Amino acid sequence: MNDQIPVRPELCRRACNELGLSVPKIDHNKLLIFCKQLLAGGGIPQPDADLVAELLVKAELRGYAGHGVTRVLQYLAFIENKIYDLSAMPQVEREGKVTAVIDAKHYIGQIAAHMAMTLAIKKAKEHGVGIVTLRRAGHTGRLADYMEMATEQGLIGMGAVSVGSATTTLYGGMKPITGTNPMAFGIPTRNGAPIILDFATASMSMGEIQKRVAKKDPIPDGVILDGDGNPTNDFKAFRGPPRGVFLPFGGYKGSGLALVTEILGGLLSGNGPGKNWWDKGGHGVNGVFLQAFAVEEFQALNSFYDKVDELIAFIKSTKCAPGFSEILLPGESGRRREATQRKNGVEIDEDTWSELTELAAELRVKEVPAAL
């Protein structure tokens, strides 16, 4: 995860819709090939470029544009500016029967995190549980991706990230202490549609705030403070100077979770407090905690699936509140968006698509997908 570049999901899409303009829709297979070519053209080894592209396009398909193909531009800029080091590969520096510590050495975060969860899964299959921490990693993307790696193997996954920045205060504070630090959980199900919960511990993302500013909608109470520590709904007061901070979601509860993610992802991994990295250069260096464990250590997997199926059936049969047609499970809406966009094409905002096509020209990538 990473705080330093505000994400822009839906901003240009909304502007196009309001003006009656079309939003570019790209075939997802062609978009994937295109992103692989761009990343490889920017210097990333092809196997790693392929994996990163798959995760970025998956995020786009699921509707999480802030973790989607716009990150191609960011990652290649990080390579050009020596923030990412492609000369050194992530390495296991300490290992026990069920634990390991990986030093990513400032390599691409998704590659390092994929390596970490792969190792955690291996240990969980052999010993019932695997816990791997990761330090000095680039932007690791959506924690949900690594939770799904575990659930695909019938394992339960857990994760936390210290994003290596200082943009969020804790309950009762007014100065930046942590980043937007996410945590995640993955629960396998019999039908292959896992329950995936992935959320930031800050009250609202920068992308959501920017969407509200673009629509001239007010920022809700309890989301941000100005640079003097006063509650504000004014984005300009938040931006400063002096710079304001995000509040954690849920008051002291979210604050506690933010602190736990900072300790597990940052301190336990050896990455250190996010503020230390933020003060050095203003770009996030991720510290990550990943865990996978086997249901069979507690009961037979099919018995567990029976219980989960029963709970889901009960949830789906429950009467909804006015204005709601159903209760969605964590991860369900994203999978539905993915199915729609696989069929109809992936919507990409105008600015991002323009920048990607310009990058393609610079890198001499000739096969730019045409909009549907």
Q: pLDDT tens-digit profile of 79-123?
A: 999 999 999 999 999 999 999 999 999 999 999 999 999 999 999
How many angstroms separate the Cα of 76 from the Cα of each of 33, 321, 362, 364, 370?
17, 46, 12, 15, 23
Q: pLDDT tens-digit profile of 10-32?
A: 444 444 444 344 578 999 999 99
Q: What angle do CA 41, 350, 243 make, to 5 degrees?
A: 90
Q: What is the pLDDT of residue 1?
A: 53
Report the distance separating Cα 257 and Cα 183, nearest Å.
8
Locate 230 and state its tokens. Answer: 């006063």
Report the distance separating Cα 363 and Cα 358, nearest Å.
9
Which residues, other chains included, contact 49 with Cβ-Cβ below 8 Å and sequence gap of 6+?
36, 39, 40
Q: What is the pLDDT of residue 15?
A: 41
Report the distance separating Cα 278 and Cα 162, nearest Å.
12
Q: What is the pLDDT of residue 125?
A: 98
Q: pLDDT tens-digit profile of 305-362?
A: 999 999 999 999 999 999 999 999 999 999 999 999 999 999 998 889 999 999 999 9
Banded pLDDT at 282 (limits 50, 70, 90): low
* Residue % of the chain over a pLDDT of 70: 92
CA atoms within 13 A on the CB side of 342: 9
Report the distance separating Cα 346 and Cα 139, nearest Å.
23
Report the distance separating Cα 316 and Cα 239, nearest Å.
42
Locate 84 and state its tokens. Answer: 């990412």
Q: What is the pLDDT of residue 16?
A: 43
Look at the block and give the residue holding tokens 């996410």: 182
Q: What is the pLDDT of residue 7?
A: 39
Q: What is the pLDDT of residue 6?
A: 39
* Residue % of the chain over a pLDDT of 90: 82
Q: What is the pLDDT of residue 65?
A: 87
Q: 99-103 and 129-137 as β-strands: parallel, antiparallel, unpaired?
A: parallel
Answer whether 298's CB lies under 8 Å from 171's CB. Answer: no
Answer whether 233's CB lies under 8 Å from 219's CB. Answer: yes
Span 175-203, average pLDDT: 96
Q: What is the pLDDT of residue 213?
A: 79
- Selection from 126, 114, 116, 128 nearest residue 51 by Cα: 114
How many angstroms separate the Cα of 84 from the Cα of each of 78, 102, 135, 137, 304?
5, 16, 13, 9, 42
Q: pLDDT tens-digit profile of 144-168?
A: 999 999 999 999 999 999 999 899 9
Q: What integer best gives the mean pLDDT of the chain?
A: 92
Structural domains in the chain, CATH included, are 11-83+337-363 (1.10.1530.10), 91-298 (3.30.1370.60), 302-330 (no CATH)
Q: pLDDT tens-digit profile of 199-219?
A: 999 998 776 776 677 678 889
Locate 310 and state its tokens. Answer: 């029963």
Q: What is the pLDDT of residue 18?
A: 42
- 3-state SS string over 184-195? EEEECCCCCCCE
Report the distance separating Cα 132 and Cα 115, nearest Å.
10
Banded pLDDT at 265 (limits 50, 70, 90): very high
Q: What is the pLDDT of residue 216?
A: 82
Q: What is the pLDDT of residue 92?
A: 99
Amino acid at 163: V
Q: pLDDT tens-digit profile of 113-147?
A: 999 999 999 999 999 999 999 999 999 999 999 99
Q: 245-246 and 224-225 as β-strands: parallel, antiparallel, unpaired?
A: antiparallel
Banded pLDDT at 57 (limits 50, 70, 90): very high
Q: What is the pLDDT of residue 95?
A: 98
- Selection from 354, 356, 352, 350 nearest residue 41 by Cα: 356
- Selection from 53, 149, 131 nearest residue 288 by Cα: 131
Locate 76 and state its tokens. Answer: 């290649």
Output the pTM of the full model. Answer: 0.91
Answer whether 288's CB lies under 8 Å from 269's CB. Answer: yes
